[in-house]
Amino acid sequence: MPRIRTLHVSLVPLALTALASAQTNYGTGTAGTGGITPRAWFRGSASPGSSFAVELDRALGGSPAFVVIGLAPTSVVAAGVEVLVQPVFSVFVGLTGGGAGVAGAGTAGFAIHVPNSSSFVGLPIHSQWLAVDPGGPQGISASDGLELHIEPPPLVLAAGTAGSLDRVYALDPTTGIAADWNGAIGADNPVAVEFTPNGEICIVGAALSHDFVIADALNNGTVLGSVGVGSALPNDVAITPDGRRAYGVTGGPQGSNLGLIIEIDVDPSSPTFGTQIGNVTGIPTGISQLEGVGISADGRTLAAVNLGLGQAALIVLVDVDPSSATFNTVLRSAPLTGFTADVRLNRDGSLAYVSSAGLGGPSSMLVVDTASGLVVATIPAIGDFPTDVEMSPRGDYVLVGCPNSDEAVRIDVDPASPGYLSFQSVVLPGQPFAIAIAPDGYTAWCSDQGGSDLYEIDTTAMTVLRTVPIGTGGADALAVR
């Protein structure tokens, strides 16, 4: 972890866009020694009353580093260096960590305190790092830009059913206290849950009430809208990076053709908010087990997987770019092996990562080239019966729940990493069925399929940080803001 300097600043509220994403990297930065471009990121909760740190890595080790903070982006090339932030202030942070003179080893951090007022929610904070580096233009390298938005306080949603009890627990991770929101949401057999990127709205998929419920995540789950899917059974939901649209996937009885992908308006400023606004066309005939869904960070590609229980296991790849001529159309589908429960895409949508489980046989992670639909890599023996898959916010690892072996597994999916496609795991006290990664990617939460606890884990060390009881029954789905 980089050395952190702390600054308490007065953040001035502005007129803001309600749908701003929680965090976005932009620009390309400026490479230094070894052709390596430094990266900007953050750590902690950027919420009122909290402190978070903007971070630097992949800089030259032991080099002087400066951070530029502002409230708006820019794009100016000065002396060969790409400047990406309109500065409000800049700070000399000190020398980067890592071995002196080692290309890409340098790290640094700078902490910012957010005043404890909800008026700051939505405020944009832009940052960029500059480092002295003889390998860069004019002896300077620069990171990409990072846009953060001050978010509502951290919250974990855990949805599931135990016997006849349906629950959508809202856990405050600061206090460890959970409240049941399902009295307001009214989901019958909740099996999916997700936040919009700004954390203000949540969507719950309810299998036995056959609907996707849109709820106010700032007001104890007050229902804002509901989209019915007839006799189909909601299975999962994903939200576009701009927070304006959600895609729900469904299933039904064998041969029912109830494997649907529907588009839902979740933009509160839209006149069609809370309604279905589209369908994906071109889904193969007879598909009825669409189980997991993910959308790439660039917002252009959606991947869904058919479970493969009594019918074909396959991946369905969809164009979800509204500016495209093939918007909401299946581009290709391709057969897979095993029981394919979930899928996530890398940032540009070129690769899909699919959990493939075997009943009494080997389990693996399949890596699919989305341009061809072909499996280009198989990561074997990752754990017993992998289910939920989550992509880290930076796109550098995926996390997989393997309930039959009580493991959460981290797989390195950064092609620049020497450990690319290697994995490490942590054994949990219970069966991690559902997983959700915190916005900064440094921690994650796992549910216990057979119990009533949640486990917070450190995703770098792959260790359990704490166990939090939430009430009756396990969770089938988790979401974190």
CATH code of 417's domain: 2.130.10.10
Among the candidates 149, 169, 198, a domain finishes at 149
pLDDT the model gives residue 134: 97
pLDDT the model gives residue 255: 73
pLDDT the model gives residue 306: 96
Tokens 């009881």 correspond to: 469
242 CB-side CA count, 13 A: 12
For residue 140, what is the domain's CATH number?
A: 2.60.40
Instruction: Return phi, psi of residue 162, to 5°.
Output: -125, 110
Among the candidates 149, 166, 198, a domain finishes at 149
Interstrand relation of 4-8 and 106-113 (parallel, antiparallel or unpaired): parallel
pTM to 2 decimal places: 0.92
Q: Does residue 124 share a domain with residue 189?
A: no
Among the candidates 98, 124, 149, a domain finishes at 149
The stretches in the chain having pLDDT less than 70 are 1-22, 360-361, 472
Cβ pair 258, 231 in contact under 8 A: yes
Q: Does residue 161 share a domain with residue 92?
A: no
In DSSP terms, 95 is beta-bridged to: 64
Residue 202 belongs to what H/E stretch?
Answer: strand 201-206
Residue 253's CB is within 10 A of a number of other CB atoms, namely: 11
48's CB contacts (< 8 A; 6+ apart) are 114, 115, 116, 117, 118, 120, 121, 150, 153
Cβ pair 433, 403 in contact under 8 A: yes
Q: Does residue 165 share a domain with residue 91?
A: no
pLDDT the model gives residue 43: 96
Q: Does residue 80 share a domain with residue 51?
A: yes
What range does the domain containing 23 cover?
4-149
Q: Does residue 446 share a domain with residue 337?
A: yes
Report residue 261 CA to chain centroid gap. 20
- Residue 361 gets which letter from DSSP? S
pLDDT the model gives residue 348: 95
Q: State the Cα–Cα distance between residues 307 and 310, nearest whole angstrom.
A: 9
pLDDT the model gives residue 418: 87
The CA-CA-CA angle for residues 219, 471, 193, to 5°, reads: 50
Helix residue ranges, H only, 79-198: 182-185
pLDDT the model gives residue 167: 92
Q: Does residue 134 share a domain with residue 166?
A: no
pLDDT the model gives residue 1: 54
pLDDT the model gives residue 8: 43
15's CB contacts (< 8 A; 6+ apart) are none
Q: Does residue 469 share a domain with residue 320?
A: yes
Q: Does residue 222 share a domain with residue 363?
A: yes
Q: Does residue 174 share a domain with residue 61?
A: no
Q: Does residue 306 share a domain with residue 365?
A: yes
Q: State the Cα–Cα distance between residues 247 and 241, nearest whole angstrom.
A: 12
Q: Does residue 303 share a domain with residue 166?
A: yes
Q: Does residue 169 share a domain with residue 137?
A: no
Give me the numbers of helices (H) and strands (E) for the chain, helices first please: 1, 38
For residue 405, give the 3-state DSSP assignment: helix
Task: Count the domains in the chain.
Answer: 2
Q: State the Cα–Cα distance between residues 271 and 269, nearest whole angstrom.
A: 7
Residue whose C-alpha is closest to residue 59's, from 93, 27, 101, 28? 101
